[in-house]
Amino acid sequence: MVTAMHSTWHLKRRLLCVRLDSAGDVLMTTPALLALKEAVPGRHLTLLTSPMGARAARLVPSLDEIIEFEPPWMEPPRANAAGDRALINRLAAGGYDGAVVFSSYTQNPLPAAYLVYLAGIPSCLAHCREDAHHLLSDRVPDPEPQQRVRHEVRRQLDLVATTGAQPKSDVLTIAIPSTARRRARAALATLRIPRDGPLVVAHVGGSAPSHRYPPQRFAEALDLLVAEQGARVVLTGDSSEVKLVEFVRGAMRTEADTLAGCLEFAELCAVIEAADVLVSNNTAPVHVAAAVGTPVVDLYALTNPQHGPWRVAHRVLYRDVPCRYCSKSVCPVGHHDCLSQVKPADIVDAVRALVDSTFEPVRATLEALPQTKLERGDATRARAL
C-alpha cells in the first residue's frame, strides 16, 4: 500500500532524479520518470546517472537534462574529491526544488541523498530503512526484502506515487532516433549469411560474470537454432565484449553474423527492435526488448529477483538453487548452477514458443522466479507470463 505525502510536491517544478546505476536500471525507471513528468505541467526533470546509465537516458523522452557522475561508493571504485565538489556546485546552481533518489533494495540511498543535501536542494525523497534525519525530507520505509519483493519497475512507481505521481502507462519507454534506425537497417543489410528463419539477436555478454550463460553452451544453443529453425543469428555486444562474442562464434559449428563493437547504444536498440526474438543474459538488452516490444528469452541468473522482463512476451530460463539471490557479481560458490544447468535445448524450445505463438504483452511478476518460501526444486524453470 502506497502512503501519500504529496502536500507540497505538486508545487515542485524542477526535479533532480538520481539513478546511479546501469543502462538497464535507468530503463526500468522510465515509467516512474514519466509519472513525475506528467504529474505537474511544465515540470523539468534532470537525471543524475552513471556514464553507463546515460547511454539509455539519452533515449528517454521524459528527461530534459542528463548529468553524468561516477560516484566513489560504486563499482569500479573511484576517488575524485575535486570532481565531487564540482558536481555539488553544479547541482546547487541548478535551481532544483526537489530530488528523488531511486535505488534497488540492496543499495543505501544516503550517499546520494548527502550530495542532494550538500547542494542545498530543499526536499529529497527515497526508500530508506533507517531514520535519515535531515538527509531525507520524505522517507519511504523500505519493506524489501523482509516483507515483500517487488519488480524494480513497481518499486520505483510506488516511490513516486507518494508524491501523487501516477502513470498513465507503466510500460518502459525509449525514443530511438531515426538516424539510429537507418544505421541499424544498413548494418543488418550487410549481413552475409542468408537464411529463411527468424532473426535472432543473441547478446552473450553481461555487466557481471555471474549474469553470463556459459559461452560454450550459448554456442550450442545457437547451433540448434540454426539447424532446427533456420535462424538468422546476429551476435551483439559492446567493444569490451568483442572477444567473448568471437569465442562464441568460433565455438559454433554453423555460421553467425556479428555486430559486436559496431553499434552505438541507440543503434543496438534499433537492431533489437528489428529482431523476431532476443536471446540474452539478464542485462540491459532485455529491458531494451521490453521497451520496443521484442519477445525475449531471458537467461536469468538468480542473483536478484527484481529484474525480469517487464510487460513483453518472454520466457525466463534458470535453474533454481539454494544460493539464489546472492546479489553477487561473481558466483560465490563457483558452480554457477542457476545458469550453467539450463540446457541449450531449453533455449531453442523457448525461442520456438515465442516465434510460433502470438502473445499479448503481459506484466512480468515475481511468479516467474522462485520465491523464498517455495520448496527448492531441481527442475529448470521456463515460464511465460
Q: What is the pLDDT of residue 319?
A: 81
pLDDT digits (tens, 9 = 90+) for 104-135: 998 999 999 999 999 999 999 999 998 888 99
| C-alpha 184, offset from chain centre | 21
Of 161, 186, 208, which closes a domain?
161
Q: What is the pLDDT of residue 6?
A: 58
pLDDT digits (tens, 9 = 90+) for 347-362: 999 999 999 874 444 4
User: 146 with 187, same domain?
Assistant: no
CATH number of the domain at 379, please: 3.40.50.2000
Residue 43 has pLDDT above 50, yes or no: yes
Task: Output phi, psi for 139, to 5 deg.
Answer: -100, 125
pLDDT digits (tens, 9 = 90+) for 51-105: 999 999 999 999 999 999 998 887 776 767 888 999 999 999 999 999 999 999 9
Of 106, 129, 161, which closes a domain?
161
Of 131, 161, 191, which closes a domain?
161
Q: Is there a domain that residue 169 lies in?
A: no
Q: If you average pLDDT over residues 25-44, what whole number do you get? A: 97
Q: Is there a domain that residue 233 lies in?
A: yes
Q: Is there a domain that residue 1 lies in?
A: no
User: 232 with 354, same domain?
Assistant: yes
Q: What is the pLDDT of residue 367?
A: 45
Rounded to the nearest integer, the mean pLDDT of the chain is: 88
Q: What is the pLDDT of residue 238?
A: 94
pLDDT digits (tens, 9 = 90+) for 175-234: 999 999 999 999 999 888 777 899 999 999 987 776 789 999 999 999 999 999 999 999
8 Å CB contact between 339 and 208 = no
Q: If you average pLDDT over residues 252-262, what whole number do you get? A: 95
Higher pLDDT, 286 or 377: 286
Residue 343 has pLDDT above 80, yes or no: yes
Structural domain count of the chain: 2
Domain range for residue 215?
178-383
User: 156 with 222, same domain?
Assistant: no
Q: Is there a domain that residue 110 lies in?
A: yes
pLDDT band at residue 378, thresholds of 50, 70 and 90? very low
Non-local (6+) Cβ contacts of 368 within 8 A are: 308, 316, 381, 383, 385
Of 321, 363, 188, give the one whose Cα is nearest residue 263: 188
Of 150, 167, 148, 172, give the one whose Cα is nearest residue 60: 172
User: 223 with 157, same domain?
Assistant: no
Percentage of the chain beyond pLDDT 90 is 70
User: 141 with 190, same domain?
Assistant: no
User: 97 with 153, same domain?
Assistant: yes
User: 151 with 182, same domain?
Assistant: no
User: 149 with 237, same domain?
Assistant: no
8 Å CB contact between 174 and 59 = yes
User: 124 with 187, same domain?
Assistant: no
Q: What is the pLDDT of residue 368?
A: 52
Residue 331 has pLDDT above 80, yes or no: no
Q: What is the pLDDT of residue 379?
A: 32
Q: Is there a domain that residue 142 lies in?
A: yes
Cross-strand bridge partners of residue 68: 49
Residue 1 has pLDDT above 80, yes or no: no
User: 51 with 19, same domain?
Assistant: yes
User: 294 with 369, same domain?
Assistant: yes
Q: Is there a domain that residue 171 lies in?
A: no
Q: If you average pLDDT over residues 136-141, what whole number do you get? A: 95
Q: Is there a domain that residue 173 lies in?
A: no
For cell 532544483, the residue is 96
Q: Is there a domain that residue 199 lies in?
A: yes
Residue 380 has pLDDT above 50, yes or no: no
Neighbour count for residue 335 (Cβ, 10 Å): 11
Neighbour count for residue 339 (Cβ, 10 Å): 24
User: 103 with 189, same domain?
Assistant: no
